[in-house]
């Protein structure tokens, strides 16, 4: 995809990216060539609204998994970091939850002590006691929908959402 220049340029500008994936699998988004202000000083950030990850595409590519089909509101190009963390900082400071194939992956900088997964109706569908920093939960028996994950670590409790 090529994004044609927008005039006048504003660091507060945001560009929504629609995507179409032919197959379920792993994909990457990167910047191939930069011109003008982007060639020297202006960073380009990609925000993944599904995972909450913000990546500085001027420094690294973004690798993710996606299901087959179209999306219209998952990705956004931004020109300021807007107080969010890049992928490296995010992995080091915050718990990250994402879908990969038929698993929910939970990665935390702290040891995960316990997990609870609730479906959209509030029904508890998974509960476990853990002692790892990375946990995988199979979603083979989960229907499509939104799930809320309660994660207990040494540093407290976090709640994350994920869509299957």
Query: 21 burial class (0-12, 13-18, 19+ CB within 10 angstroms)?
Result: middle
Q: Indicate the number of domains in the chain.
A: 2
Same domain (yes/no): 155, 130 = yes
Q: Residue 82 above 70 pLDDT?
A: no
Is the four-CA dihedral 120, 122, 126, 128 of positive or negative sign?
A: positive
pTM value surpassing 0.85: no
> Of 39, 66, 87, which residue is a domain's last?
87
How many CB atoms are located within 10 Å of the residue 159 CB? 12
Q: Are strands 14-21 and 69-78 parallel, antiparallel or unpaired?
A: antiparallel
Q: What is the pLDDT of residues 106-157, one digit of tens each?
A: 988 889 999 999 998 889 999 999 999 999 999 988 988 888 999 998 888 8
The count of C-alpha atoms lying within 13 angstroms of the C-alpha of 102, restricted to the half-sphere facing its C-beta, is: 6
Structural domain boundaries enclosing 130: 95-163
Q: Are strands 103-119 and 146-153 parallel, antiparallel or unpaired?
A: antiparallel
> Of 87, 122, 150, which residue is a domain's last?
87
Average pLDDT of every residue of the chain: 82
How many CB atoms are located within 10 Å of the residue 84 CB? 14
Residues 6+ apart with CB under 8 A from 14: 76, 77, 78
> Of 87, 105, 137, which residue is a domain's last?
87
Tokens representing residue 38 in the block? 């982007």
Same domain (yes/no): 112, 83 = no
């Amino acid at each position: 995809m090529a994004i044609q220049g927008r005039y006048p340029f504003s660091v507060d500008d945001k560009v929504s990216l629609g995507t179409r994936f032919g197959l379920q699998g792993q994909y990457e988004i990167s910047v191939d060539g930069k011109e003008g202000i982007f060639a020297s000083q202006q960073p380009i950030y990609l925000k993944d609204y599904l995972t909450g990850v913000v990546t500085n595409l001027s420094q690294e590519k973004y690798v993710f998994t996606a299901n087959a089909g179209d999306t219209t509101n998952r990705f956004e190009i931004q020109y300021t970091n807007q107080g969010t963390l890049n992928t490296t900082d995010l992995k080091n400071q915050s718990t990250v939850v994402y879908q990969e194939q038929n698993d929910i992956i939970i990665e935390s900088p702290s040891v995960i002590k316990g997990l609870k997964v609730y479906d959209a109706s509030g029904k508890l569908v998974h509960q476990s006691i853990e002692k790892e920093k990375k946990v995988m939960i199979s979603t083979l028996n989960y229907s499509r929908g939104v799930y809320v994950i309660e994660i207990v670590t040494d540093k407290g409790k976090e709640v994350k959402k994920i869509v299957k």
